[in-house]
Structure 1
């Protein structure tokens, strides 16, 4: 779109003073943006930076430190690697993500693609991957390969189209509720660890009051920085222990160091048997992408104006970039497992901001945090971390799910998703309920009649059976011993 085009963003942009409210101004920005896919998008010409972009950027940076540290630590434990290795690898991963992908792709080349983040649901499986003879690099390359296949075939957007609102809503409710309970439990355990359980009570109570007031004022986009700040002050004032321990510096940048026999991962380069052992887990990781990516786009659809379709996240493009980011990051030496960046997208959608400006700010913040070091200690301190995830991810997930399940048919599908997810996991719950819903056995029975045979039962049926076989292989089905686990 040329600058001379009267319908270009630059020509249609109007200053804040032309609007009665800030929300009206932000919604107009979403309506007039025309982001270009796989071409250069520039600030001022194609989008602007706003104060609200700082919120998702801060949330994403905190989330990045936390999630990548969790992945690295999950690998480090079974492999016998030190905490120093974890910190070093996290800093390296943050630089890779920020410089090569967040700023370059989501900020400049394709603002329709969400940032490539971290695959949280795979973290509990990492010890099993290591025990089964998997290798971080082999796993990463296979995830990248299968992810590219899904992106090129447009499988992600197809599965999203076949998932009804009831199924999506139920999935969001389950993920939100489980995450909320886990974060509160973790904060309580942290406070009890040094016999000051009342600190957790004070932090959670203040968070509830703050969140309720922000919801009343329609300013929930402020909940992450404000909530984290209040939690930090309250915990510190009540005597919780805290100190900065990560000093400024640069991590090792050479792949030869990270994939050496006695340095970095201390595993050397992967062999064929490593790829064979990692394959089922890689397929499962990519299969989990669809419900994850779907949930993030839903937030945009719920918070953006209905006609702002040109700024909605493109699921297939996001999968493609996530796959490339996985391949490059793994080859360079990183241990991250990639998915859509939820701690960025959810706050950005609530703040009514498109992807690119916040993406660039996220990249800058990640670079600063990685090199400076000290912000990493602050981001992973329990009161700050738990409150940021509660108000920035899990409460919005819960609320969005409830908004999508207001009628009888959608709530029926949502209930089955929650039931099946609690029985096994969200991937099982999503794939099984999508099949039952499209067959017309639950939910809107008329919807199934409008679908082609392929969409009604072939694609959902094959998806469910493939995922069921993989989960059985890796030992994820209750009461059924996994082949790999033994």
Structure 2
């Protein structure tokens, strides 16, 4: 038989008019594709553009502006750098991401690699990294090297194989609930800032009704653009303050400017001790990739039709892409910390679209937003931002988590991963529950027997132990001081 990858996509696919519904046509497109791994993939020959691709592109651009701004601000604040520096570095990062990796890699070279986004869970640790004497370039290079090792030795796919549906579903439930709570809190805090707390309530109620109606029409993929439009118009009409302040322009594209002694970051190039300082944080950052990747891949699997394994994101390729993006961005002067791009892959899965077409449009929107400037102000306006994240990421994560915990003894594992994640963080919850689940203490007893000693307790045990040592070292266990800081204080 002829390998499906050797059959031309254009001969395999059927035109839209041969299908009774848009959903059937989009499912057929997913089933017809056979992306070429690390070889040129061309529009028309290997994939097509559809108007649904604008949905994840819009969500990803909004998410990119917000998340990179959060990362750079977390670095810049303790270093005493200005707001103008933050804006310029964010615009610089968006151009780097769009041109070098979003379009080039995920759009053309490897459509099975998810876009390289931003590492949101690491943001709370950034002030600690700076206080410890960490250097942004050193941290980025260390994350890149460790991520390459994870991808090359296929550590991501191995850990995904060892993660049951119960653990993955519990992670999605936890992340979805925490995200929803956080965005509702931020929306009310924003509205209370100008004595219009009721505005947040109005926006959220309107969003719930809109989402429910779109769900009824089976047009949930429209939730992001419709939700952003609804939130923006409602807020402005009811008197919420808003103004454009970021003017058009191009950031400084000279890496020597960003890593100068008196310009850019004003830190110069990193030295050996900087790499030693950031090593534990880099290890923790890469360890956080696995539960993130597992959740993103699971969300595709739940929303895509059968026989679409060829277009599901490859975790190891995604790790390699994210690592290359991290090293390149750090060398050139960017402050972003990279991970799988959740605000892209979740809406793309809902819209039943593969990675490449939306990736190209995402790159285009990132370039427009970075150069034009004004869209960045709109994307970070709190009602638009919060609603985009609520309907585009966090509510769908809850739905996917519920779907994954409906069968078998998955609820036990889901409950434990939520419990332990709330105690420390999702990395701790994921690694502990994978160990307990695979040993057969919770969940399906039969599943653990099929994994052998390596998959049952040796690999999960080593991963859990290493992560606990690192988390204890940087002070992530509640009520306990940072072990390495305490040890350093004892040194003469």
**Shorter-chain-normalised TM-score: which range?**
over 0.9
Give the Cα–Cα distance (whole angstroms) in 2 for the partners of residues 403 and 485 of structure 1: 43
Which residue matches 1:18? Answer: 18
Give the Cα–Cα distance (whole angstroms) in 2 for the partners of residues 267 and 284 of structure 1: 24
Give the Cα–Cα distance (whole angstroms) in 2 for the partners of residues 5 and 482 of structure 1: 51
Q: CA deviation at 1:12?
A: 1.6
Structure 2 length normalisation: TM-score? 0.97
Q: CA deviation at 1:332?
A: 0.2
Give the Cα–Cα distance (whole angstroms) in 2 for the partners of residues 39 and 272 of structure 1: 37
Which residue matches 1:30? Answer: 30
SS at match of 2:483: coil
Which residue matches 1:97? Answer: 97
Q: How does 1:39-188 map to 2 (within 5 A)?
A: 39-188=39-188
Give the Cα–Cα distance (whole angstroms) in 2 for the partners of residues 286 and 368 of structure 1: 31
Q: CA deviation at 1:265?
A: 0.4
Give the Cα–Cα distance (whole angstroms) in 2 for the partners of residues 485 and 475 of structure 1: 8
Q: CA deviation at 1:85?
A: 0.5
Q: CA deviation at 1:27?
A: 0.3
Q: How does 1:279-318 map to 2 (within 5 A)?
A: 279-318=279-318
Could you report, residue by residue, the CA deviation over 1:246-292 in whole angstroms, capped at 9, with x for unpaired residues? Answer: 00000011111000111100111001111111000000000000000
Q: Give yes or no for contact 1:284–1:470 (8 Å, CA) kept in 2.
A: yes
Could you report, residue by residue, the CA deviation over 1:431-482 in whole angstroms, capped at 9, with x for unpaired residues? Answer: 0000000000000011111111001000000000000000000000112110
Give the Cα–Cα distance (whole angstroms) in 1 for the partners of residues 451 and 33 of structure 2: 33
Give the Cα–Cα distance (whole angstroms) in 1 for the partners of residues 163 and 341 of structure 2: 21
Which residue matches 1:208? Answer: 208
Give the Cα–Cα distance (whole angstroms) in 2 for the partners of residues 336 and 407 of structure 1: 39
Q: Give yes or no for contact 2:435–2:460 (8 Å, CA) kept in 1.
A: yes
Q: Give yes or no for contact 2:424–2:476 (8 Å, CA) kept in 1.
A: yes
Give the Cα–Cα distance (whole angstroms) in 2 for the partners of residues 101 and 464 of structure 1: 32
Which residue matches 1:248? Answer: 248
SS at match of 2:305: coil
SS at match of 2:281: helix
Q: How does 1:468-483 map to 2 (within 5 A)?
A: 468-483=468-483
Give the Cα–Cα distance (whole angstroms) in 2 for the partners of residues 306 and 474 of structure 1: 43
Q: How many residues are treated as equivalent by the alignment?
A: 484
Residue 384 (structure 2) pairs with residue 387 (structure 1): no
Give the Cα–Cα distance (whole angstroms) in 1 for the partners of residues 378 and 230 of structure 2: 13
Which residue matches 1:446? Answer: 446
Q: Give yes or no for contact 2:232–2:384 (8 Å, CA) kept in 1.
A: yes
Give the Cα–Cα distance (whole angstroms) in 1 for the partners of residues 389 and 143 of structure 2: 26
Q: Alpha carbon RMSD of aligned pairs, Å?
A: 1.2
Q: CA deviation at 1:407?
A: 3.4
Q: CA deviation at 1:6?
A: 8.6
Which residue matches 2:364? Answer: 364
Residue 465 (structure 2) pairs with residue 462 (structure 1): no
Q: CA deviation at 1:217?
A: 1.1
SS at match of 2:111: coil
Which residue matches 1:375? Answer: 375
Structure 1 length normalisation: TM-score? 0.98
For structure 1, the residue ranges without an aligned partner over 5 or more in a row are none
Which residue matches 1:432? Answer: 432
Which residue matches 2:421? Answer: 421
Q: Give yes or no for contact 1:128–1:485 (8 Å, CA) kept in 2.
A: no
Q: Give yes or no for contact 1:9–1:45 (8 Å, CA) kept in 2.
A: yes
For structure 2, the residue ranges without an aligned partner over 5 or more in a row are 487-492
SS at match of 1:454: helix
Give the Cα–Cα distance (whole angstroms) in 2 for the partners of residues 173 and 299 of structure 1: 12
Q: Give yes or no for contact 1:6–1:12 (8 Å, CA) kept in 2.
A: no
> Structure 1's 136 and 55: CA in aligned 2 closer, same or farther, altered over 3 A?
same
Which residue matches 1:334? Answer: 334
Give the Cα–Cα distance (whole angstroms) in 1 for the partners of residues 321 and 277 of structure 2: 25
Q: CA deviation at 1:314?
A: 0.5
Could you report, residue by residue, the CA deviation over 1:102-126 in whole angstroms, capped at 9, with x for unpaired residues? Answer: 0000000000100000000000000
Give the Cα–Cα distance (whole angstroms) in 1 for the partners of residues 418 and 232 of structure 2: 34
> Structure 1's 5 and 347: CA in aligned 2 closer, same or farther, altered over 3 A?
closer
Residue 348 (structure 2) pairs with residue 348 (structure 1): yes
Give the Cα–Cα distance (whole angstroms) in 2 for the partners of residues 327 and 25 of structure 1: 39
